[in-house]
Structure 1
Amino acid sequence: MPQLSMHSPVGDLTVTEEDGQIISLDWGWVPSEWQEETPLLLTAIEQLNDYFDAKRLEFDLPLNPPGSQFQKAVCSAMSAIPAGQTRSYGEIAKDLDSSAQAVGNACGLNPIPIIIPCHRVLAANREMGGFSGQGGVETKKKLLALENALPPQQQSLDL
């Protein structure tokens, strides 16, 4: 599977492609002998760089996140949250006729964070909740601040 790494403000990231679709975004850098510059991975890196440079807030990439049907449904619900907005685990759970805890667990298993914006999902009362990416909640806050979507009670905190 082709992979390509990049430096970002939230750490090194590696994007993986399979059958012409993005299947994962992981924190860390893969060895150069595993890196492959495919047109799709170059486009993904370009879009991520544009995102971090505040030139783009939405991604236009073919995605195929692995996981159960429920996990895919949660990924689809997260992908529908516009940049600059947030939803709660409970709101997504209601839409999927599920529990907030199940949605939270599926968010934590998101294989394509940032591109599938699990950082836009908050706990009740607009609290941060968790974030499975490198840096945890602090990274989530940085991503939300980049999108001008940081809840007011979090804006006074150091980023």
Structure 2
Amino acid sequence: MNALPPLDQINALTTQGITFLTTLNDLLDAEYLALQQRDVSLLQELIEKKTATLLLLEENNQTRNQLFISAGITPDKAGLQSFQAQLSATDASSFTAHWTQLEQVLRQVNDKNKRNEIIITRNSRNLEQLMSIIRGQNQKNTLYNQSGGKGNYAAQNSLGKA
């Protein structure tokens, strides 16, 4: 087995991950407000910032995972528990504190992302219904096409009668 990765390096990467997740958490709060205000330009700006933050977070995760893999530790829950078991009590406590904080912020980000996704889905559905009314389409005339998108079969219905 390879030597354990330096704890200070792991904790530094974990702290950096917490920072990226906290930024993402704040961006999701701003996105929530922008969705409520229907501020399209702000939403576009936030999407760009979220994308940049997600790329940094992904790079951070890959670096941290590579550090574990190079030491022969799998970057999953079992591997992390094994790593923690090999540390001194003080180091294990430090590692656990950092990792617990990372998990907490990640849960917050997931919850806020789901919240925003629900709003976006609901707004999209409402817009689709309004557009359907404006076009004079009957909702009962809507079917799904082969690609999974919605299609209007009203014209097919009138052709079938002819």
Structure 2 length normalisation: TM-score?
0.25
Higher strand share: 1
| Larger Rg computed on CA atoms | 2
Structure 1 length normalisation: TM-score?
0.25
Greater RCO (Cα-Cα under 8 Å, separation 6 or more) = 2
